[in-house]
Amino acid sequence: MRVEERVRELLNRMTLAEKIGQMCQVTGGTEEHKDLVRQGRVGSILNVSESEAPDRARVSNDFQAAAVKESRLGVPLIIGRDVIHGFRTVMPIPLGQAASFDMPLVEEAAAVAAREASACGINWTFAPMVDVARDPRWGRIAEGGGEDPLLTSRLGAAMVRGFQGPDPAHPERIAACAKHYVGYGAAEGGRDYNTTWIPEGLLRDVYLPSFKACVDAGALTLMSAFNDLNGIPATGNPWALRQVLKTEWGFGGFVVSDWASVEEMIPHGLCSDKPEAARAAVAAGVDMEMVSACFSEHLVQLVEAGRVPMELIDDAVGRILGVKFQLGLFDSPYTEEARSNVLLTDGHLDVAKRLATESCVLLKNDEALPLPGDMGSLAVIGPLADAPVDQLGCWTMDGRGEDTVTPLQALREALRGRCDVRHAPGLPDCRSTDTAGFAEARRVAGDCDAAVLFLGEDAGLSGEAHCRAFLDLPGAQEELVAALADVGRPVIAIVMTGRPLTLTGIVEHVNALLVAWHPGTMGGPALADLLLGVSSPSGKLPVSFPRTIGQVPVYYAHKNTGRPAPPGKEGVPVGTPLDPESFFSTYLDMHHSPLFPFGYGLSYGAASYSNLKLSGPALSMGETLEVAVTVTNDSAVAIEEVVQLYVRDPVASLTRPVKELKDFMRVPLAPGESRKVSFALGTEHLAFHNGDGQRIVEPGVFHVMVGGSSQDVLKAEFTVTD
């Protein structure tokens, strides 16, 4: 029997109370919750157990047994958990994964997470987060793909494929949930849960594509967001949920609210009370309520009173049941408890190490890296050199500090017997202003051949509700860098962080600068390989790094303005309002460009670009142009270069960004090797949404740019004809 027929048959047997029970999710595995499951009043549980495997699988199976064997209709539960960037084997934060530009490896990492989580009875994750974010003050920028819609789209689609696989019913796969739909990453002031005002064209061109990519990749569920979107909270927004998602895109899965976001429409000011919040959410297109109880307490009465049509309930429940059938839960609801041995396998740790290695971005290198092989001693300094929990980052509910290999541990292991590794933290933790350890750090650094300084944010400084008004290194970390700057030894700074930071205050004081994000369980071995030259850095920035907080938001795909600043232009204008000489879109006291732009990243080699060629000067609507470039490794070191393709529409009916990423490719290059790299650029890649919400391609001249970052590019042009 087909899924649709099984759903219809089951719906016909359900009472109204049982239907609404499927639309309710609770958190925590209490006995009270188990009783509700038996009564058919719960369709999903998240965080069912905090015990260790295999006990977690046993607890999950107990709840499934209550649903399958003790409820009237035996409908299984869908059991959720925030598996954001790994389960026990913690991968780099998603922002770091985006820096790898390696989507097959990202997919492999999500498959690892699914394999481990499913072994503990979990069959649904609330990931990927695909909110485009251009304000690094926002704590949740750590969970997504950064500032660009294409990169975020590909990251999200890769994670969906990794979590769900070709068959979501496979026992080692789990349902994905693309979140937070939609516009959440544009929260005003970078403050979580805050208002968003986004014109429809910008929504469709920047903030919606990543969700569409997840839907196209087969995501079984989506999560509505906390934010107010153009005056209507996303959880009660029928335009976003019913019109765009369910009607235009034909999404067939179900929508779950974010944690209590149904009830939160009351303080938003859209709804007067919980019954009205329940009515608004269901009418808008929310199918399941997470944690709050507006549905469970009021939907029966709302349906009986005719305020919520029965058709909407049947549609919501049909979607939930359909996902449960697709996950195979009706046929195989239980988890094999012996599967807990898949946690932290060598293969999983290898994936985590490879992804941590590829996610690191080298921002500066004055020939200080890789470290020389003949060192007699190495100073390892800083509050994050040996902080196993902090290097895991935010949203690591199931990661364990005892599983983590820190940089200090990894360097000691790698250099055992040939180099004396000395440790001085300098600061007791990231946020400390206690400088008592500076003298010891200076002494150790001065006595060694080089100093590696591990700085950044602890895990608690990013993630949900962890937004920052300033983006500098917390505590006295900048002072620690300054204290080591004149010891007469090379100083290499490694920054672990959940967001872009303003590193202007340290970049001139260090000989090399490497951003490692929060690299996860195997961050230490990955960093040791990079520092010692076993691997060459290959990551590129998925988000611009500002020079100062006053620049925010700063992103590469900005508009040109009528008075664009010439390259290098800064300072006080020399003219007056009557004679506006040098009146440009810039700052008086700081350059307007980012400190490090989107797509930027160095390696231990040097890639050069030449011979940019197009297959023709023009193309008609619906045709494709080949864009080819020669990329050469001008060094004696093997590298991997992320080749990036950008396009600009310089004249259009609506002004367009100065450039937009349209494709990218990781290219391995042997020492001295040259390779021709080709991209297929079709007219569909040139489309944008006009003022009527229509997706159009306009004829005219287009600029194409190829290079190793959003700023360092070769340029050509072509014409699109009718």
Q: Which residues are catalytic?
A: 258
Structural tokens at position 413: 């292991």
Exposure string of 229-241, with b = 16+ CB inside 10 Å and e = fewer, is bbebbbbbbeebb
Q: Is 579 strand, coil or helix? A: strand
Phi, psi dihedral angles at 391 (to 5 degrees)? -70, -10
Structural tokens at position 501: 């930071």
Contact 636, 620 (CB under 8 A): no
Q: Is 12 strand, coil or helix? A: helix
CB contact set of 554 (below 8 Å; sequence gap of 6+): 134, 544, 546, 592, 593, 594
Q: Distance (Å, rounded) from C-alpha 211 to C-alpha 245? A: 9
Phi, psi dihedral angles at 402 (to 5 degrees)? -70, -15
Phi, psi dihedral angles at 61 (to 5 degrees)? -65, -35
What is the helix (H) or strand (E) element at residue 526, kind and residue range? helix 523-531
Q: Look-up: residue for tokens 């990202």?
A: 106
Residue 650's nearest CA partner among 721, 572, 704 is: 704
Q: In the 8-state DSSP scheme, what is residue 596?
A: B
Contact 143, 94 (CB under 8 A): yes
Q: Is 421 strand, coil or helix? A: strand
CA-to-CA separations, 592 to 142, 148, 561, 565, in angstroms, rounded: 24, 19, 13, 8
Q: Distance (Å, rounded) from C-alpha 131 to C-alpha 98? A: 13
CB contact set of 471 (below 8 Å; sequence gap of 6+): 136, 137, 499, 500, 501, 502, 546, 549, 552
3-state helix/strand/coil string of 363-403: EEECCCCCCCCCCCEEEEECCCCCCCCHHHCCCCCCCCHHH
Q: Look-up: residue for tokens 């929504």?
A: 203
Q: Distance (Å, rounded) from C-alpha 453 to C-alpha 458? A: 15
Q: Is 678 strand, coil or helix? A: strand
Residue 395's nearest CA partner among 113, 197, 149, 183 is: 113
Q: Distance (Å, rounded) from C-alpha 149 to C-alpha 696? A: 18
Burial of 533 (C-beta count, 10 Å sphere; 0-12/13-18/19+): middle
Phi, psi dihedral angles at 465 (to 5 degrees)? 65, 15
Phi, psi dihedral angles at 220 (to 5 degrees)? -80, -25
What is the helix (H) or strand (E) element at residue 164, kind and residue range? helix 149-164
Exposure string of 429-447, with b = 16+ CB inside 10 Å and e = fewer, is ebebeeeebbeebbebbee
Structural tokens at position 27: 């958190």
Structural tokens at position 136: 């690094």
Q: Is 72 strand, coil or helix? A: coil
Where does 127-194 show beta strands of DSSP type E?
Answer: 177-181
Q: Distance (Å, rounded) from C-alpha 364 to C-alpha 375? A: 21
Q: Distance (Å, rounded) from C-alpha 183 to C-alpha 234? A: 8
CA-to-CA separations, 104 to 110, 168, 356, 464, in angstroms, rounded: 10, 18, 14, 27
Tell me the pairing of strands 78-81 and 124-125: parallel
